[in-house]
Each structure stands twice: as structure tokens, then as C-alpha cells.
Structure 1
Amino acid sequence: MGSIKVRNLGKAYKQYSTRWGRLAEWISPGKKSHHALKWVIEEISFDIAAGESVGIIGINGAGKSTLLKMITGTTQPTTGSVMLTGRVAALLELGMGFHPDFTGRQNAYMAGQLLGYSVEEITRLMPEIESFADIGDYIDQPARVYSSGMQVRLAFSVATAIRPDILIVDEALSVGDAYFQHKSFERIREFRKQGTTLLIVSHDKAAIQAICDRAILLNAGKLAMQGEPEAVMDYYNALLADHQKQNVTQSTRPDGKVKTESGTGEAAIEQISICDSSGNPISLIAVGQKIQIKILVLVNEDIEGLVLGCGIKDRLGQMVFGTNTFFTGQALSGAKKGERYLYTASCDANLGEGSYSVHSSLVLNQSHVEKNYHWVDGGFVFQVINTDKPHFVGYCWNEINFDIEKLEEHT
């Protein structure tokens, strides 16, 4: 079983004011410093227990890839330490150092040996590696003719040919085609069931929330937050508009989940509720029932434009459905301070049984990145039960009928 312990990890690079600074530093008496330190990672500490699955998220430049390189030992830290137990397989960059003039098969042997496999093991595993990579005759062609997706296929197949105790994956899997992404994530899920510890970097919110037990958010090289994937992802989403000097707050809902709010405050969501078709407030909804999502909005300052977004998330925080009044052609312009608006979104609750929450937002245009007045994740929680539909599984209800026709036997 594999575990990871990271303590006070930091990485800094030397920056010289002139191109002669490095030489001057080498030859100066007493080794006088001619550089400044540029820290890309500072004071990162966390533990990942055996069998746990953790996702690392953050905007580009936050230090995610540098952190993984230090954990795997391909980059030495400036400060701190990393302790790993068990066999480690890492897929950090396309090709894992594949030599462009060697064939895929030859590169598989080299990459496998770097991972600690013996030549005999690789020979025994080669049919499975070829089958999973599914690149056909290209396995015996030089790697320089491979597409990025083909490199990922082969690299992932080699790295996971034997179930590792620890699997570390950077964003390389996002390059592969949709079919291979499904196949590779299914293998990752199977490894999880068998006890592999997983550390993954991805911008794919759904993948992080579906696979990971916990998420770690990096911001400007520092650990900004760690916790349940849904709460961390909601906080990360708010940080995407951080240039607006908005407020970001998190509180605990009655169901124990985290409610995340952010925004600059020119307009605010005062209340979110769900009513039946007669306008009566409800929180227990039958599959397929007609409902009205009511959102009360207060305008605090004169604003150029006002767009309301509304969506429904499942219990893991993944969006089941969402849209906004920009896309429906109902954006408001010239809203004045003190005005109130009641938005009513009518729909059929074609959802599976379970717990859901209402997401809502107030923005200037089609997204919150330009101007985020108020953003609420987990604003209203409700339950869906099945009272009169045939049994089904999944998050979506759809009326379905089977036509069964007996065919004549051919003699």
C-alpha cells in the first residue's frame, strides 16, 4: 500500500538581473550573491493515506506540475521533504521521455525499466500493453510519427501495466481522445477499488469530483484550501474571477455540505426556493413533477446588465443542468439601485432519486469571469423521490417504451 507525506515543500529558482550575474556570482570572492529567489512553491504540507484519491487543482502557473515533479523526484525541492511508500507510477508529461527515433515497442521497454519493471516482465506484459494502447501497427513505428494522443495511449498503458501502489497523473490524459479517456479513467477507478493511492492534476471538475476523496487547491504557489472536492471546486470557481476584488465566503449547510458564495455585491440573490405548480413551497419532489424555482434578486447599485444563471447540481456537486438568461435571450439592461426582481424558472423535475441543490448566479454577461455580482453554490437543497415511475437508475428520468417483436425463425 502506498502513502505520500509532504512536509514544508518549497521550490525557488534563481533570477539574475543581468546575463553576467551568474558568472559574477561564480567568480566573486566569498561567493557574493547576485541573484534573487523566485518562489514557485512555498510551504506545502499534506498527507495522502494509503488507498486515498486526491486531486490537485489551480489556475495555470499555480505550481501544480512543479509540485508533482518534486513528489516524484524529477525535480529537487529547495526546502522540505517528500516521503513515498510503495511502487510509484507517474505520468507527468507526454511521452515520458520517449526517444523520437525509437519505435513505440522499444520506448515501452525503456519506459518500463525506468518504472522498475524487468525486461522479462515487460516482455510478458507487452501483449496487454499493445492491446490497451490500441495504436495498431504504429507500435513498431518511430515515436516521432506519433500524435500527442498516441503518445498518451502508449505512456499510460506502460505506466499502468502493473497496478502501482501510487499512481500520479498530470493533465496528460486530457490530450487523448474521448474513447481512451473513458477507458483510462475506468482503469484508474479499478485501481482505486484494489487499493491504489491516486494523486491527479486535472482541470476537469467532473473527473475530480467523481474520482477523488479530497481535493487540494493551489494558488500562487501556496496551499489555499483542501477538503471535499465539491467545496474546493466551488472555491476554485470563485477564484477564477478574483481579479474583481470580490468577497468569497463558505458556510456549512444544514445537510453538512459547504455553501460557497462570491461576488462584488452590485446585485444580490436574497432568496432561493422551489414551489409546486400551484406556487406552494416544497423541498420534497417527485420524479417528473412540475416545479418552479423562484429566485429573488435585489439590485444594490445601478448596473449596465443583469444576467441570472440557474442550475441543478447532484450530491457530488456536478451540474446536472444549467443555463442563464443570456442564452435564453432574457438579459436585463439598465437595472437601477433598489429594484427587486423575482425570477421563476419552470421545468419538470426529470431527475433520479437523491439529493440535489440549486446553483444560482448574477453576472454581467454570459459568464462570471468578466463581472460576478453574486454567485451561490448550494443555495437550496431538495430531495427527489420516485412515487409513480417504473424503477430506473441514474440522475435523469426519461420516458421510455420497449417495442418487442418476435421474429420468425429461419429454417
Structure 2
Amino acid sequence: MSSELAISIQGLSKCYQIYGQPRDRLKQMLLPRLQRWTARTPRRYYDEFWALKNISFDIRRGEAVGIVGRNGSGKSTLLQLICGTLTPTMGTVETRGRIAALLELGSGFNPEFTGRENVYLNGAILGIGKEQLDQVFERIVRFADIGDHLDQPVKTYSSGMFVRLAFAVQMHLDPEILIVDEALSVGDQFFQAKCYAAIRTMMDNGTTVLFVSHSAATVKALCPRAVLLSHGELIVDGPASKVLDRYFVLGSLEANAGSSAPTALVAPDDDLDLDAVADAAAAPSSETMHAGGNASAAQVVSALQPPFERRVSHRVGSGQARYVECRVMAGADEAIFVETGATLRVQAVLDVIEDCPQEGEVGMVVSTTEGVELFAINSFFHGARVPAMKAGEKHVVEFEFVSPLSSGARYRIDLGYRMPVQGEYVDKVFAAAGFSVANQGDRIIPLLFDVPGKITVA
């Protein structure tokens, strides 16, 4: 292993034996030996689950690498193999330097010990002597900021207090490799900001960082490089922005895999080699696509997403009218994957159940998948008139905007209809449609929005 490398992974695989019932374990221990002794072919009493399959990559000293992938992709298994808490089935993992890991809440802590005692216990596990710990103990206490709870058993701690103390211990023991697996997500926003600042300081001092998170913005902010795993396989290893684009394309495809609806992509990024994916997906039929002018309610049918009622997370309102379909359009095509800066049209069908005899108001909110509202378009503030409607009618509501959103994240569309204007909701639908954004070209947009700006230095 080269002295420039902190971690070297070659042909790494991990297989678990899955037994249908407890007695199958005993059978596996005894019967194959008996079968071989009687010259019969040994039978296997378990199923194999390969959590990782032939993973290979190297990480240089001082690099910060994000590990991304959907739940069950093998991220945590990979980190445990690197830390040495799991043994690989095949392949090798070599590390150079002391490893500090936040793999799961409470790992390395004795719940019966106080916080103070666990600080010294963690230090002993990492090979740090008491004298060295004494020198940094006050800094650990200040960073954790858990007050008098330091001398209480950690089994009484909240999850936030747990991770405060665990992170404070790890970062003050000068690790050469820091591994963080989603542990910081339980902290409050102020502690998270302090942790990320501390991680950046450690990176500046040459610490190698492996960071697992489902937050694309966090991965992009901390890690120039990322590795994408899917079903235990390494899909792509490269610049974080490109890998995250591929991650969300893959997520969109896998999310639609259980649906009978065909999947297609609009405005693919050639660097991600998505053309083959798009070509393999069935194109939506001409009857469901709008070729010009105003679409009719019959034409507004999403061909790229699961059925509308399966998409909707929840809805509120009087029920006099209901949204029954929604799709995102880029040009003449429906899209679930668009470019930064694209002009988008959100088309929604409003089905009138009972008379809505007064002028109303329609609106659309773009939110993150976690529900953080980013911006809205509303007929009241845009001066658009929404007339009274009669039972049995169907209306197509269309919102148009230039998307300022950055790549590497997924977004959702929430819809609303109120009658009268500024009155009670007739229908408000959450997660009516979704889309992902890719950044074409080499320009890096570090946060959520691509806002035009000007910089001068006098």
C-alpha cells in the first residue's frame, strides 16, 4: 500500500447467510459434514445475501469522500469493513492511521457509565492514554456542551446529547481517518453547523474523511469526490456534483421500477451516460403528450411517475374540487430530470366535484422532499383570475417558471386551490409530482439556488 494512500479497497465483497428458521443453522453445522462423509453432495440450508460485490477504490491521505446510495445499497457495511468491525468475505481493506468512527448512536459507549467515564473509555479503545486525554478533556466538554449531564449515566441521554458527546470525543483525539455515517442528522442545526466547521478544520489539517449522508447539499459542501453504491455494487466514483446527479437519476429509475408506467428522462447529462438509460425506457405515447397550445384535461396524464394517488403524501380541504393529476414539462416533453435554469411548466388537472360559485385562487409550492418550502407561484399575487367553476367540469391549471434550483437534489410540487380568494382550502395536495435537477457543464452551484450575482474587489 502506497504511503500516499489512507485507505485501499480491492475486490471487497461481503456475503451474509440468511436462514429461514433457527433450526436451519443447526442443520448447516452438522448435515453437510455427514453428507460429505457418505459421499453425497452437501446441501446448503441458507440463502446468500451479498451486501457488497467486488468493490475497489483508493482514498488518498487528506481526501474527503462522500459515500452515497439509497437505503440498503451497502454504505454502512462498507464503513464497518473499513473500521474492522466486520470481516470481508472476499477482498482486502488496508488502512493507514488511527480511525475515529461515528457509525451509529452509542457505539463504543457503555450505557451504565457516565459521560465523563465514557470519554476515557473511548480514549482507551482508541489507544489514547489518560494523560493525553486529560489535556483535551476540557475542550471535549466545551464542544459537547451538555452541562451537568456529563456526570450522569449516558443511558439517560437524549439522542442529541449522545451524538454531541460522541462527536466531541472523536474530533479531539486527532484521528487520521474520520468516518461519519449519518450520525450528525440527530443534532440540532446549530450543533450540526459546529460539527461541519470542525470537520472542515480537520480536513485542512490533513485528516481523511469518509462521510455518508442523504443530504446532497452537505456532501457537495464537504466532499470534492463521491462514490455511489447501489445494491452492493460501485456504480460511479468521481467528482461529487456528477456522482450526485447520477444518484438522483438512479433513484428516480428505481422509484419507478415497481410501476407499470414507462420511465424516460429529459435533458440528460451526457457525462453521466444517461442516453442509454433514456433510450431503453419506453417513450410516452402521443395521446398523453401535449404538442402545442393549451392541453386538455384528458391530455395531462403523467407517463413518467407512479399513479397520482400513490404520489400524494397527504391532502386537506373541503373536497368540492380535487386535483387528480400533475406533471412537470420541459419544452414539449414531460420531465422528471431537468437542467439547472430550465423553463418548466407544471400542469395540473382540477376535477370539480361540487359547484365552486366564487372566484378562487390556485397556487404551487416547490419544496424539498423533506418538506422545506423553497418558493411559490400564486394566482392572487400574480394577478391571474380563477373563475367560478361548476360541478362536472375539469380544468387544467398551468404554472410556468425558470427553475433556479441547483443540481444534486430532488424536489416536489405541492398544489393548492382556495375558494374564495384567500379563503379556506378546497384542496391542498402535498407531493403531487417530483423532479430532479442536473447541472449541465462545469459550473459548480454549491447550495440550493443558482442566483445571478456580481463580485468586485476594489
1:2-401 map, 5 Å: 3-28=6-31, 29=34, 30=36, 32=42, 33-241=44-252, 242-245=254-257, 246-247=263-264, 250-252=268-270, 265-266=283-284, 303=301, 305-308=325-328, 323=375, 344-345=400-401, 377-378=438-439, 384=452, 386=454
Amino acid of the structure 2 residue aligned with 1:244 = N
1:362–1:26 Cα change, 3 Å = closer
Kept in 1, the 8 Å contact 2:269–2:438? The answer is no
Q: Distance in 1 between matches of 2:329 and 2:375?
A: 6
Normalising to structure 1: TM-score of the pair?
Answer: 0.70
Residue 259 of structure 1 and its aligned partner are, at CA, apart by: 9.1
Q: Distance in 2 between matches of 1:10 and 1:62?
A: 13
Residue 90 of structure 1 and its aligned partner are, at CA, apart by: 1.1
Q: Deviations over 1:244-292 (max 9, x none)?
A: 2524685348xxx99999787548899xxxxxxxxxxxxxxxxxxxxxx
Residue 384 of structure 1 and its aligned partner are, at CA, apart by: 4.1
Normalized per residue, the structure richer in strand is 1
Q: Distance in 2 between matches of 1:198 and 1:247?
A: 36
Report the more deviating stretch, 127-136 or 223-232.
223-232
Kept in 2, the 8 Å contact 1:2–1:51? The answer is no
1:188–1:364 Cα change, 3 Å = closer
Q: Distance in 2 between matches of 1:133 and 1:156?
A: 8
Q: Distance in 2 between matches of 1:83 and 1:327?
A: 60
Residue 334 of structure 1 and its aligned partner are, at CA, apart by: 7.8
Q: Distance in 2 between matches of 1:138 and 1:212?
A: 34
Residue 147 of structure 1 and its aligned partner are, at CA, apart by: 0.5
Gaps of 5+ in 2: 258-262, 303-324, 331-337, 342-367, 385-393, 416-428, 444-449
Residue 224 of structure 1 and its aligned partner are, at CA, apart by: 1.6
Kept in 2, the 8 Å contact 1:359–1:379? The answer is no
Residue 15 of structure 1 and its aligned partner are, at CA, apart by: 1.8
Kept in 1, the 8 Å contact 2:178–2:209? The answer is yes
Q: Distance in 2 between matches of 1:104 and 1:60?
A: 31
Q: Distance in 1 between matches of 2:164 and 2:244?
A: 28
Residue 123 of structure 1 and its aligned partner are, at CA, apart by: 1.7
Report the more deviating stretch, 359-368 or 132-141.
359-368
Kept in 2, the 8 Å contact 1:326–1:365? The answer is no
Residue 375 of structure 1 and its aligned partner are, at CA, apart by: 5.3
1:361–1:327 Cα change, 3 Å = farther
Q: Deviations over 1:179-206 (max 9, x none)?
A: 1101011000011111111101011111
Kept in 2, the 8 Å contact 1:308–1:363? The answer is no
Residue 19 of structure 1 and its aligned partner are, at CA, apart by: 2.6
Residue 359 of structure 1 and its aligned partner are, at CA, apart by: 10
Query: Secondary structure of the residue that 2:269 maps to in structure 1?
Result: strand
Kept in 2, the 8 Å contact 1:3–1:197? The answer is yes
Kept in 1, the 8 Å contact 2:216–2:409? The answer is no
For the aligned residues, what is the CA RMSD?
4.4
Report the more deviating stretch, 53-62 or 228-237.
228-237
Residue 376 of structure 1 and its aligned partner are, at CA, apart by: 5.1
Q: Distance in 1 between matches of 2:205 and 2:137?
A: 22
Residue 383 of structure 1 and its aligned partner are, at CA, apart by: 9.3
1:237–1:360 Cα change, 3 Å = closer
1:119–1:240 Cα change, 3 Å = same
1:379–1:323 Cα change, 3 Å = farther
Query: Secondary structure of the residue that 2:80 maps to in structure 1?
Result: helix
Amino acid of the structure 1 residue aligned with 2:199 = I
Q: Deviations over 1:338-385 (max 9, x none)?
A: xxx9975379x9xxxxxx97999999977998866x755236989945
Gaps of 5+ in 1: 271-295, 336-340, 350-355, 393-411
Query: Secondary structure of the residue that 1:95 maps to in structure 2?
Result: coil
Report the more deviating stretch, 115-124 or 209-218.
115-124
1:100–1:344 Cα change, 3 Å = closer
Q: Distance in 2 between matches of 1:76 and 1:147?
A: 32
Query: Secondary structure of the residue that 2:106 maps to in structure 1?
Result: helix
1:94–1:75 Cα change, 3 Å = same
Q: Distance in 2 between matches of 1:186 and 1:362?
A: 27
Residue 124 of structure 1 and its aligned partner are, at CA, apart by: 1.7
Kept in 2, the 8 Å contact 1:309–1:325? The answer is no
Q: Distance in 1 between matches of 2:168 and 2:203?
A: 17
Normalising to structure 2: TM-score of the pair?
Answer: 0.63
Match of 2:344 in 1: none
Residue 91 of structure 1 and its aligned partner are, at CA, apart by: 1.1
Amino acid of the structure 2 residue aligned with 1:221 = G
1:363–1:89 Cα change, 3 Å = closer
